[in-house]
Amino acid sequence: MRLAIIGVGLIGGSVARALAARDAGTWRVTSWSRSVDAPRAALADGVIDAVAATAEEAVADAELVLLAASPLANLELVARLGPLVAAGRHTLTDVTSAQVRIGRVAEAVPGLRHVGGHPMAGLEARGYEAARADLFAGRPWIVVPSAGSGPDDVERVRTLALACGARPIVLDAAQHDRLVAAISHLPLVVAAALAETVTSSEVWAPAAELAAGGWRDATRVARGDPDLGAGIAALNRDELLAWLERFAAILAEWRDELGSLPESPDLPAVEGLRARFERVRAALLERRGDA
């Protein structure tokens, strides 16, 4: 299959590496990126077959076009490249973290066969140099059919996900955005807010010397690409706001629980706190949400 990868960063580069490592010979991959350094490095590494001079050249004869730029850049690329892909009656997909908005842009392009996609894998590192062949191994890859796509288009995207070692899961755009807002976008904003709370205080300099695994794990996703984070938050604004309101209410309950502890010269009564921690732990372990 002739594949065009537009954007050769962490995700696009990892797709190229995965295909080269797992399914060499089945795919012919042409790439384009705003910076020529990443596609040239991928070509030198032998994980793509050609570097295109322009995005339009990359998609000209591709059977499947993968938009792997930032969320906001992908929106622009759908409008820019969609008519060319539609004219060739080929399939357009993406790796965008919010699917409702990009789906609307795709639907506005006459004849465009768009199937949204979102591999649920990533790192706080960015750029092609961080790309890994095993990034998607065993991870969900959400596949989002649109009104303009047919079974063959969906199958092409499923084939790509499987070739990268991922598990394709079909969802509609609204369901996708609500679910990932809960388990991906909310944690991102919470991690950023946590880091902002502490790093903007007068204790940060001495506290940073003491920070260990708990701080690292709780703030890991806030160390990621700011462009990606901003695009995610903006494109999935409504769902993220709903989850933030729920989170704020539950955080207030924790504050009230702590505030209700009586002052005592002896050991404080912690039964209520212990019960909350136990409920959270049980819920996570039951559904392997901590995996």
For the residues 187-208, what does the mean pLDDT come to? Answer: 96
255 burial level (CB within 10 Å; 0-12, 13-18, 19+): exposed
Higher-confidence position of 23 and 198: 198
How far is the C-alpha of 17 from the C-alpha of 1, rounded, in Å? 16
Please count the other Cβ atoms lying within 10 Å of the Cβ belonging to residue 83.
Answer: 14
pLDDT higher than 60, residue 243? yes
pLDDT-derived band at 265, boundaries 50, 70, 90: low
pLDDT score of 197 more than 90? yes
**Is residue 128 scored above 80 in pLDDT?**
yes
Q: Give yes or no for residue 291 having a pLDDT over 60.
A: no
Q: How remote is the C-alpha of 274 from its chain's centroid?
A: 34
Q: Find the mean pLDDT for residues 19-29.
A: 89
Tell me the CA distances in angstroms from 14 to 160, 195, 283, one per residue in order: 12, 28, 32
**Out of 39-53, 176-190, 273-287, which region has the weakest mean confidence (pLDDT)?**
273-287
Per-residue model confidence (pLDDT) at position 105: 96
- C-alpha of 232 from chain center: 8
What is the separation, in whole angstroms, between the first and last Cα of the chain?
A: 34
pLDDT score of 23: 77
What percent of the chain stands above pLDDT 70? 98
117 bridge partner residues: 143
What does the angle CA 199 – CA 246 – CA 218 come to, to the nearest 5 degrees?
Answer: 35
Query: Tens digits of per-residue pLDDT, 57-105?
Result: 999 999 999 999 999 999 999 999 999 999 999 999 999 999 999 999 9
Q: What is the mean pLDDT of residues 111-135?
A: 94
State the chain's mean pLDDT as an integer: 94
Q: What is the mean pLDDT of residues 237-265?
A: 92
DSSP string, the chain: -EEEEE--SHHHHHHHHHHHHHSTTT-EEEEE-SSSHHHHHHHHTTS-SEE-SSHHHHHTT-SEEEE-S-HHHHHHHHHHHHHHHHHTT-EEEE--S-HHHHHHHHHTSTT-EEEEEEES---S--SGGG--TTTTTT-EEEEEE-TT--HHHHHHHHHHHHHTT-EEEE--HHHHHHHHIIIIIHHHHHHHHHHHHHHTSTTHHHHHTT--HHHHHHHGGGGS-HHHHHHHHHHTHHHHHHHHHHHHHHHHHHHHHHHTSPP-SSPPP-HHHHHHHHHHHHHHHHHTTT-
| Local confidence band at 286 (pLDDT 50, 70, 90 cut-offs) | confident
- Per-residue confidence (pLDDT) for residue 288, from 0 to 100: 62
- The pLDDT-based confidence of 273 (bands split at 50, 70, 90) is confident
CATH numbers and ranges of domains, the chain: 2-171 (3.40.50.720), 176-287 (1.10.3660.10)
Tens of pLDDT, residue by residue over 105-115, are 999 999 999 99
132 against 124, higher pLDDT: 132
Hey, what amino acid is at 265? Answer: P
